Structure 1
Amino acid sequence: MPKLISKVRASLIVQRFSKLTAIRNGGKEVGDYIQAMRTFTTSNGHVGDLVSRSGQKQIVDALVLGERGRAVSLLYEFSLGNNKLSADDFASILQSCARLPDPLFVMETWKIMEEKEINISDKCYSLAVRALCKGGYLKEALSLMSIMGESINCYSMLPIYNNFLAACYETQTVDYANECMDLMEHQMVGKNEITYAQLLKLAVLQQNLSAVHEIWKECSKFYSLSPLSLRKFIWSFTELRDLNSAHTALQHMVRLAFRENSYISRTAEGRFCDLRLDIPAPSSGNWSSIDVSLDTVSSNIDMERQSLGSMETNTARKTLSASVMKLLRWSFNDVMHACAQVQNCDLAEQLMLQMQTLGLQPSGSTYDGFIRAIATTRGFSDGVKVLKVMQEKNIKPHDSTLAVLAVMCSRELELNLAEAFLDEMSKIHNPRPYNAFLEACDVLDRPERAVQILAKMKRLNLQPNIRTYELLFSLFGNVNAPYEEGNMLSQVDVAKRINTIEMDMMKNGIQHSHLSLRNVLKALGTEGMVKELIQYLRAAENRFSRYDTYMITPVYNTVLHSLVEAKESQMATQIFKSMVSAGVSPDAATYNIMIDGCSIVGCFRSALALISMMFRSGFNPQAVTLTGLLKILLRSEDFDGALELLNQGISEGIQLDVLLYNTIFQVAAEKGRIDVIELIVEHMHLQGVLPDPSTCSHVFAAYVDHGFYNTAMEALQVLSVRMIAGVDKDTDEKRTELENLILGEDSKDEPQILETFKDSKEYLTVALLQLRWCAILGYPVSWSPSDSQWARRLSRNLASTNSLL
């Protein structure tokens, strides 16, 4: 009866499989089989007996040559011509199907075997399942495996289940793996070390660290872990960034390798294998073994650390096999790369020292992980030092190593060094290091270097990605230098550049991202190209969903900011209203831009309405909000209202910035209100807000316009020293160095001051030049602003007008 049930179920599988393959392949391959059968039955009236081996060989040869139709004809000729067939007569056919793989032909063969009532062997089951798994037909393979359990012993089934789990990992189908585990438990198949290795890979696929720890406990309960099995656990821990567990398992692996006999060998295919007898662990039962956890292993290693250290210094006493040495090196490399991922350079250095002690020569892959760990933690300069050590040992660095160093050099704005690393790379498949270089060019405003690197990308046939184009729009979207307004010629040039970049995007099949569109909008706004700005806004509205606030709101903000800068307040208001009516949620930046736009027309009432909307949307006013309101009050010369608003912002805990103060300085200087300027300078000092070059310019100009030249020079000195104090630490050594630059008469002193500008210390550069100018005009430099009569007077005046502030 069970045999009959198995045949019925197998027939159902064959039928379902035929329908499935007809759908998957459009019926073509199944049709080929049917056509071949029709040809066979019409052209052969009778079939003589054929020798079994000869028939199998003809079928296998036809399959290898890809002649499926002829293979089907030969298969049916083979089955009809011999009535004493056994499972062995089909073994080589199924083996060929498993090797190709050809799951369709397997099912055709299986159907004939069922019709001939052949007692199917364990080998045939195994080959059929393997062919189905390799062909991607896991559902059909699982159904066949459920039938196999009724007629095959559990120990013969285990390799088949292991193959199925391996196929689940390769096809990334975890659900079928869970069904397979349920079936194994139901059939009490048990597990061996190969099973645990496959389960580890599936756990990594699911990013399930707790599952890896459970597998460790279960596997160590039934097996004495070998270097080969430990290697797989170490890989799993490192893939899931569990550095502590990986390091603990690695030390356990070192201890086993040097203290116990290892039975690691290699197969004919070059794969590592354990020569110990692999007895499957039962699926259930009572076990008295101790549950070995990683904590237990770690404590054992700590107890034996001293003896292990002495053993490492005498490695010559025991020579390890090449296979074990290779496994150890691979595992060290895995942990080293994990150190790079979690930026643990201290452990990376320990591992490198331990490898040298054990006689394991670091490879290029070892140094790849080591340099990543060192460079990402301590900086690219330390990574370059390790690279020089590699060159001294004639170890060629991996392209990935050079790519990481190139990216880090670009981030540090070291363009020459970054380009040198890019030139050393032999094969480049990812534009990331080139994008980092372009980003550095954008920061330094060096479009000419970007052109050179783009030419190299073209020569290497390296296809750009969307990040490349985002940077290109940022680099080449603007024609004029900063602070210059666009004109007709520059607008034409910008339009050509944007069109050229977009044409290249189309050629490479890349669409705009929200950032690339924003960069285009910024370029158009900077040039004052309002018409084109609105056109690209409409394109962005069609490209991104209005409900995706993260994408579309920054695009609207870019357009609104450009319109406000172009003093197109009416158009900005229309865009804002259409944005809200379309269901796009404004953010804090949107409201601040619109409040700033109200200053163009001087409508304080509209600004207050926007602040009300801002509160209802859950956003609190910031310094930039106060700046917009101050602009409106100062436009009508309401300085008292501006001072009152300033104090209200402080009472509400708003952190004031230099831009806000500069807004008052600018208008007060234009209107000749020195009294307001002096009050705000001291107020700014008390709030701990450092001046910037604009502050110095407004204050200095206000005094000069009224003929107070000495006061102007004194104020310039005080503000410059305060700027320096905010940039550099005020030490005696540093002060002497700066004094030499300020008072020096060497022609190289001034260019040396300008060098600080390249280090992104533009405030320091301006302050030093201003103090040098004061010294040249005969005004002594004082490093104590509080000693200045001007500074003391401002302090007294603020105290006497405390009612205002």
Structure 2
Amino acid sequence: MLGRCRQPGPATALFKVMLSEKQLAPTVDVYTALVGAYGYSGLLDEAMATVGLMKGADTDCKPDEYTFSVLINCCCKSRRFDLIPTVLDEMSYLGIGCNVVIHNGIIDGYGKAGMLEEMDDALSNMLQDGDNVPDIYTMNSIIWAYGNRGRVDDMEKWYDEFQLMGVEPDTRTFNIMMKSYGKANMPDKMLSILKYMKRRFFSPSAATFNIIIDCFGRAGNIEKMEYYFRLMKIQGVKPNPITYCSLVNGYSKAGLLDMVPAIIRQTENTDVALDTPFFNCVISAYAKSGDIEIMEEMLVLMKEKKCKPDKVIYTTMIQAYMAHGMDEAAKLLETEMERFNNKLLGPVPVVDYK
């Protein structure tokens, strides 16, 4: 838990407490948790050193497949792909083979970094390995990587290839493809996926409708944006803050900000909790249009709903004030932002990781 909260210092302290208590000898799971606590905070040297400690520990604490899958995942998230060959060599030395999770972690890491050639090589290694076959996670990582880069032809090719391998798509697969078509300004293909899902008895999720609503909103096609929002509710799919944020962006782009209050009123009759990103959209829309008074009202409403403003919201409002020559208001908000940041960050502890 400390690792997930990016608190490697307290995690280290807790680990040392375990070492001092003879009856609480750390297990392989405890060591692996410490590897993750360091790795997910970008402290990869410490994570690698912890794996080194495991090798010298008791037999019950030797690093296993899960340990190395965590370590590789951390390397990918920190974009330290240069460390992956070292990790794989270490696994080979210990007689630990790559399982499908490790292969998928490497493929997904390269894909998210836009390193498509390296991603293809990692997939080839997986196929040549022979012990592991691609699964739905492999498929979704590959088509996401190509779709996100606008290479829809390659995305479609790999979609067909994976089906030939016996990998069947899921709802997330279709959502990935729809989003890629939307980004590529190919709404007809995006809607053809929705029809295909219906024929194959896949139920559209909130994410599915959010993608469609966002696509038509960005294109300024308010009529279709509203149609699919209504269809979403008719089919019993519950809108979420992302849905309402997409609607706000669509209305803002079309110059229809008078529709935004109605959206906010709609949420009051639901159990949807409006979040900071939603108010970010609303405040940004009013700031761009120069509606300073309503922008301020939205900040007040945000605070009333116990939703804390973030740095983006403060920066947006300060820029709007300065653009309208309201320097005094900008300075007051800068002061509030500084207080917010100081409260959020607090004192920075100095931790000895050795």
Instruction: Judge conservation of contact 1:650–1:656 (CA < 8 Å) in 2.
Output: no
Instruction: Judge conservation of contact 1:596–1:628 (CA < 8 Å) in 2.
Output: yes
Q: What does residue 65 of structure 2 align with?
A: 431
**Distance of aligned partners of 1:537 and 1:673 in 2 relative to their CA distance in 1, 3 Å threshold:** farther
SS of the aligned residue for 1:473 comes to: helix
Please state how far the C-alpha of 1:606 moved relative to its aligned partner: 2.1
- What CA deviation, in whole Å up to 9, does each residue of 1:384-427 have, x standing for no partner? 4444666xx9xxx8xxx563233111332354444234224267
After TM superposition, the structure 1 = structure 2 runs for residues 354-365 of structure 1, keeping only pairs within 5 Å, are: none
**Distance of aligned partners of 1:422 and 1:722 in 2 relative to their CA distance in 1, 3 Å threshold:** closer
Instruction: Judge conservation of contact 2:11–2:37 (CA < 8 Å) in 1.
Output: no
**Distance of aligned partners of 1:690 and 1:539 in 2 relative to their CA distance in 1, 3 Å threshold:** farther
| CA distance in structure 2 between the partners assigned to 1:704 and 1:447 by the alignment | 43
**Distance of aligned partners of 1:704 and 1:567 in 2 relative to their CA distance in 1, 3 Å threshold:** farther
Q: What does residue 503 of structure 1 align with?
A: 124
TM-score by length of 2: 0.80
**Distance of aligned partners of 1:565 and 1:717 in 2 relative to their CA distance in 1, 3 Å threshold:** farther
Q: What does residue 63 of structure 1 align with?
A: none
After TM superposition, the structure 1 = structure 2 runs for residues 321-470 of structure 1, keeping only pairs within 5 Å, are: 381-387=13-19, 403-414=28-39, 415-423=44-52, 424-425=54-55, 430-470=64-104
| CA distance in structure 2 between the partners assigned to 1:461 and 1:637 by the alignment | 63
| CA distance in structure 1 between the partners assigned to 2:124 and 2:254 by the alignment | 49
Instruction: Judge conservation of contact 2:38–2:46 (CA < 8 Å) in 1.
Output: no
| CA distance in structure 2 between the partners assigned to 1:540 and 1:507 by the alignment | 15
Q: What does residue 701 of structure 1 align with?
A: 319
Please state how far the C-alpha of 1:444 moved relative to its aligned partner: 4.0
SS of the aligned residue for 2:325 comes to: coil
SS of the aligned residue for 2:201 comes to: coil
1:517 to 126, 135, 139: 139
- What CA deviation, in whole Å up to 9, does each residue of 1:280-330 have, x standing for no partner? xxxxxxxxxxxxxxxxxxxxxxxxxxxxxxxxxxxxxxxxxxxxxxxxxxx
2:116 counterpart letter in structure 1:
A
Is 1:639 equivalent to 2:257 in the alignment? Answer: yes
1:529 to 151, 158, 163: 151
Instruction: Judge conservation of contact 2:241–2:272 (CA < 8 Å) in 1.
Output: yes
Q: What does residue 747 of structure 1 align with?
A: none
1:471 counterpart letter in structure 2:
G
Q: What does residue 280 of structure 2 align with?
A: 662
After TM superposition, the structure 1 = structure 2 runs for residues 181-330 of structure 1, keeping only pairs within 5 Å, are: none
**Distance of aligned partners of 1:449 and 1:389 in 2 relative to their CA distance in 1, 3 Å threshold:** farther
| CA distance in structure 2 between the partners assigned to 1:712 and 1:724 by the alignment | 18
Please state how far the C-alpha of 1:429 moved relative to its aligned partner: 8.1
1:504 counterpart letter in structure 2:
N
| CA distance in structure 2 between the partners assigned to 1:580 and 1:538 by the alignment | 19
**Distance of aligned partners of 1:456 and 1:713 in 2 relative to their CA distance in 1, 3 Å threshold:** farther
| CA distance in structure 2 between the partners assigned to 1:541 and 1:687 by the alignment | 47
| CA distance in structure 1 between the partners assigned to 2:18 and 2:269 by the alignment | 54
Q: What does residue 718 of structure 1 align with?
A: 336
SS of the aligned residue for 2:170 comes to: helix
2:111 to 459, 468, 477: 477
**Distance of aligned partners of 1:451 and 1:716 in 2 relative to their CA distance in 1, 3 Å threshold:** farther
- What CA deviation, in whole Å up to 9, does each residue of 1:160-209 have, x standing for no partner? xxxxxxxxxxxxxxxxxxxxxxxxxxxxxxxxxxxxxxxxxxxxxxxxxx
Structure 2 gaps of 5+ residues are 1-9
Instruction: Judge conservation of contact 2:34–2:50 (CA < 8 Å) in 1.
Output: no
Instruction: Judge conservation of contact 2:139–2:167 (CA < 8 Å) in 1.
Output: no
| CA distance in structure 1 between the partners assigned to 2:316 and 2:183 by the alignment | 21
Instruction: Judge conservation of contact 1:402–1:425 (CA < 8 Å) in 2.
Output: no
Please state how far the C-alpha of 1:688 moved relative to its aligned partner: 1.5
**Distance of aligned partners of 1:425 and 1:388 in 2 relative to their CA distance in 1, 3 Å threshold:** farther
Q: How many pairs does the alignment contain?
A: 330
Please state how far the C-alpha of 1:501 moved relative to its aligned partner: 0.4
| CA distance in structure 1 between the partners assigned to 2:174 and 2:324 by the alignment | 44
**Distance of aligned partners of 1:709 and 1:643 in 2 relative to their CA distance in 1, 3 Å threshold:** same
| CA distance in structure 2 between the partners assigned to 1:621 and 1:609 by the alignment | 14
Please state how far the C-alpha of 1:502 moved relative to its aligned partner: 1.0
TM-score by length of 1: 0.38
Instruction: Judge conservation of contact 1:411–1:436 (CA < 8 Å) in 2.
Output: yes
2:251 counterpart letter in structure 1:
L
**Distance of aligned partners of 1:458 and 1:523 in 2 relative to their CA distance in 1, 3 Å threshold:** farther
**Distance of aligned partners of 1:707 and 1:408 in 2 relative to their CA distance in 1, 3 Å threshold:** same
1:470 counterpart letter in structure 2:
N
| CA distance in structure 2 between the partners assigned to 1:631 and 1:431 by the alignment | 45
Q: What does residue 675 of structure 1 align with?
A: 293
| CA distance in structure 1 between the partners assigned to 2:34 and 2:234 by the alignment | 46
| CA distance in structure 1 between the partners assigned to 2:159 and 2:235 by the alignment | 24
2:28 counterpart letter in structure 1:
A
Instruction: Judge conservation of contact 2:73–2:106 (CA < 8 Å) in 1.
Output: no
**Distance of aligned partners of 1:497 and 1:594 in 2 relative to their CA distance in 1, 3 Å threshold:** same
Is 1:579 equivalent to 2:194 in the alignment? Answer: no
Instruction: Judge conservation of contact 1:669–1:698 (CA < 8 Å) in 2.
Output: yes
Q: What does residue 184 of structure 1 align with?
A: none
SS of the aligned residue for 2:38 comes to: coil
**Distance of aligned partners of 1:569 and 1:708 in 2 relative to their CA distance in 1, 3 Å threshold:** farther
SS of the aligned residue for 1:412 comes to: helix
Instruction: Judge conservation of contact 1:405–1:421 (CA < 8 Å) in 2.
Output: no
Instruction: Judge conservation of contact 2:321–2:329 (CA < 8 Å) in 1.
Output: yes
- Mean alpha-carbon deviation: is it higher for 528-537 or for 610-619? 610-619
- What CA deviation, in whole Å up to 9, does each residue of 1:513-535 have, x standing for no partner? 22222222332233222221222
RMSD after superposition = 3.1
Instruction: Judge conservation of contact 1:557–1:590 (CA < 8 Å) in 2.
Output: yes
- What CA deviation, in whole Å up to 9, does each residue of 1:744-791 have, x standing for no partner? xxxxxxxx69x99xxxxxxxxxxxxxxxxxxxxxxxxxxxxxxxxxxx
**Distance of aligned partners of 1:535 and 1:465 in 2 relative to their CA distance in 1, 3 Å threshold:** same
| CA distance in structure 1 between the partners assigned to 2:288 and 2:223 by the alignment | 25
- What CA deviation, in whole Å up to 9, does each residue of 1:495-550 have, x standing for no partner? 311221011101222222222222223322332222212222334455344xxxxx
Q: What does residue 375 of structure 1 align with?
A: none
SS of the aligned residue for 2:306 comes to: coil
| CA distance in structure 1 between the partners assigned to 2:244 and 2:262 by the alignment | 11
SS of the aligned residue for 1:413 comes to: helix
Please state how far the C-alpha of 1:435 moved relative to its aligned partner: 0.6
2:55 counterpart letter in structure 1:
M
SS of the aligned residue for 1:522 comes to: helix
SS of the aligned residue for 1:689 comes to: coil
Instruction: Judge conservation of contact 2:276–2:309 (CA < 8 Å) in 1.
Output: yes
1:520 counterpart letter in structure 2:
I
Please state how far the C-alpha of 1:567 moved relative to its aligned partner: 4.1
Instruction: Judge conservation of contact 1:406–1:419 (CA < 8 Å) in 2.
Output: no
After TM superposition, the structure 1 = structure 2 runs for residues 514-663 of structure 1, keeping only pairs within 5 Å, are: 514-541=136-163, 543-545=166-168, 552-663=170-281
SS of the aligned residue for 1:531 comes to: helix
1:534 counterpart letter in structure 2:
E
| CA distance in structure 1 between the partners assigned to 2:186 and 2:334 by the alignment | 36
Please identify the structure whose Cα radius of gyration is greater.
1
